[in-house]
Amino acid sequence: MTESNFAARLARAMHDHDSLVCVGLDPEPEKFPPAFRNSPRAIFEFNRAIVDATADLVCAFKPQIAHYAALAAEDQLADTIAYIRERAPGVPVILDSKRGDIGSTAEKYAHEAFGRYGADAVTINPYLGFDSAEPFLKYADKGIVVLCRTSNKGAREFQDLEVDGRKLYQIVAEHVAQKWNANGNCLLVVGATYPAELADIRARTGEMTFLVPGVGAQGGDVNLAVRSGMTKSGGGLVINSSRGILYAGAGPSGLSDTFAAAARHATLELRAAINAARR
């Protein structure tokens, strides 16, 4: 990658691949095709096949770290990222770890994401406030993706609480856009499952890029999400699908050996649906 910062690298991948699709690399070995089941490197091998099948169609890959941590497979996460560098050097990697802790500890988490794994961007949780984000934000050439309005049903419980006429997620969006973004490296997580909130946050944050989970397995409507969340120029969105792509080929007996072709097909369809919505 020759571009100097995450925003530029992401924009280049979006342009080169005509795509706002991000493939979430959330491996679940119990769903893998039989051929992978006995390999000690099954997670890496599965991811490699997905990367091979989709790298020319996406603007980013997003491994969700819990899927590796639960299985003591940090080495296979590192190998997956190394493989993306080799196979698709123009496609940035967003490490989805939703970290959040006091400053001295946040420094360690930032090192985990950027030093250990060499990710281009990381997701973080805003609950602890600015000083918990600062150790991430100072990596000016990385993307810092702050949870704002998440895609799950329970998001309402705290994120929708109203403070002097504004909801908590609206305040988070404004603080990030106006105060946290001095280096221009902030993004926001906004779920596709909440199109009205996507539109609201777009209106409050100008051209800021959103990472949008919730299409596919979580049921978000692609057309509605894109039209609600996009910038005036039809961009500003990184639309993630994990299960909807990885396991697109699953039949009653699970995935077969054609899973990668099915993943490619699902990625092509999602890219086309997004592009139709934004033009």
Residues that bind a copy of itself (CB under 8 A): 26, 64, 66-67, 69-72, 74, 98-103, 105-106, 108-109, 111-112, 115-116, 125-132, 147, 150-159, 161-164, 168, 171-172, 175, 213, 218
Amino acid at 186: C
Residues 13, 109, 241, 80, Cα dihedral to 10°: 70
Residue 167 bears catalytic tag:
no
Distance, CA of 142 to CA of 70 (rounded, Å): 26
Q: How far is CA 77 from CA 100, 118, 181, 225, 249, in A?
A: 21, 11, 29, 30, 23
> 143 phi and psi, to 5 degrees?
-95, 130
Based on CB atoms, which residue is closest to a copy of itself, 127 or 196? 127
Rg from Cα positions in the chain = 18
Based on CB atoms, which residue is closest to a copy of itself, 85 or 87? 85
Catalytic residues: 98
